[in-house]
Chains A and B, each alone.
Chain A
Amino acid sequence: MSKNRLLLIALLLLVPLASLPAQDVDVTKLPGYINLDKIKIPGNNEDITEINLGPGLLSLLASFSDEADSAINGKLKGLISLRVKSFPVNGKRAEEIRPIMEEFDKKLRSEKWEEIVRVKKGKEFTVVSYLPGKNKVSGFFIMSLTPDEDASFINIVGNIDVAQLSKMGLGISDSTMRSIRTNWRFR
Chain B
Amino acid sequence: MKSRCETYQRWALERTRGELPSIKNYLLTRHLSRCDECASQVKEDAELACYFNALPRISCPEPVLQRIRSTIVNQRVKAADRKPLFTPLRLSLAASAIGAILLVIVLLPRRESESTIQNYSAAEVEKARKQAEWSLALTGKLIRKNEKKVIRETIIEQFPSSIRKALDESLKIF
Contact mask for chain B residues 115-141; partner A; CB cutoff 8 A; 1 contact, 0 none: 011011000110011011111101111
Q: CB-CB < 8 A to B167: which residues of A?
A: none
User: Is B97's CB under 8 angstroms from A72's CB?
Assistant: no
A121: B residues at CB distance < 8 A: 153
Bound complex: CA A36 to CA B107 (Å): 36
A-B residue pair count with CB separations less than 8 angstroms: 126
| Closest chain A CB from B147 CB (angstroms) | 5
Chain B residues closer than 8 Å to A154, beta-carbon distance: 135, 138-139, 142
CA distance A41 to B90 in the complex (A): 64
Whether the Cβ atoms of A61 and B128 lie closer than 8 Å is: yes
Most buried by B among A3, A11, A12: A11
A142 to B101, CA, bound (A): 42
Determine which of B93, B104, B116 lies in contact with A56 in the assembled complex, contact meaning CB atoms within 8 Å. B116
Instruction: For the complex formed, measure the closest distance between the CB of B137 and the CB atoms of chain A, giving whole angstroms.
Output: 8
Q: Does any Cβ of B come within 8 Å of A15's Cβ?
A: yes
Enumerate chain B residues within 8 angstroms of A173, measured Cβ to Cβ.
147
Knowing A57-B120, A154-B138 touch, does A51 contact B109 (C-beta < 8 A)?
A: no
In the bound complex, residues from chain A placing their C-beta under 8 Å from that of B135 are: 51, 53, 82, 84, 154
Count B-side interface residues using an 8 Å CB cutoff: 41
| Identity of the chain B residue whose Cβ is nearest the Cβ of A19 in the assembled complex | B104
| Nearest CB of A to B81, in Å | 13
Chain A hits for B85, CB < 8 A: 3-4, 7
A residues in contact (CB < 8 Å) with B: 3-4, 7-8, 11-12, 14-15, 18-19, 21-22, 49, 51, 53, 56-61, 63, 69, 72, 75-76, 82, 84, 86, 116-119, 121, 126, 128, 140, 142, 144, 152, 154, 156, 168-173, 176
